[in-house]
Structure 1
């Protein structure tokens, strides 16, 4: 029993100490693992995806005036399988993680400092399958928006 309690305590501490981005356990739901409830109203952020060429898209999150965010999690998801596809390039303020055994298929923050914007580059899968892009944004530990659809311009 004591080992079980100690293990649970370590797991809780590990989950609370993730300032370096979303863990792979967030891949399926795209929800943060630090408590609170997802907001249901409009997010105070402009989230967009701009095609650079036929395979590459710049995905950006820009906070409304006077607003910041601390974390984000972005995926391109297959319309058919609802799993992360494509890949994200490394960026100065973002890192890629592997979701659903697909290399670099999600992008997340590298620290929890306040941000007013972030941009990442996503490359579509070679298969040409239909994809939707989604973003989750964390304003504070218990104020966040999950799986916001990102329109591609």
Structure 2
């Protein structure tokens, strides 16, 4: 049983942003501090990547662990209420994410997924970004 009313749940869900989220802003700030310039949310690309670095033919998705089903992450635990709905929803999100990455790679883009839980260790995140942007492999 849900602890909040359906009206309150609707209000809560409507406030969840899909772009310009705090995790996205953290990654963008780090990239900018490292000297990288980028574009945001190109609707012409599959999946509308969060960050696009055209010079490097690279895209970055900053994914919430729950919404995108980060395997093995405690933040990705499926709620006990309405379990079947959430399992279908998260499974569909994961399939869509995989298809978008496949389509982007077919277009020649290199793709990086940064998970919300990875933002805790800034030094590791910076190293991961640098490794991704300085390598030439997909």
Which structure has more relative contact order (CA 8 Å, sep 6+)? It is: 1
Q: Which has the higher strand share?
A: 1
Answer whether TM exceeds 0.5 for this pair.
no
Q: Which has the higher helix share?
A: 2
Please tell me the TM-score bracket, short chain as reference: under 0.3
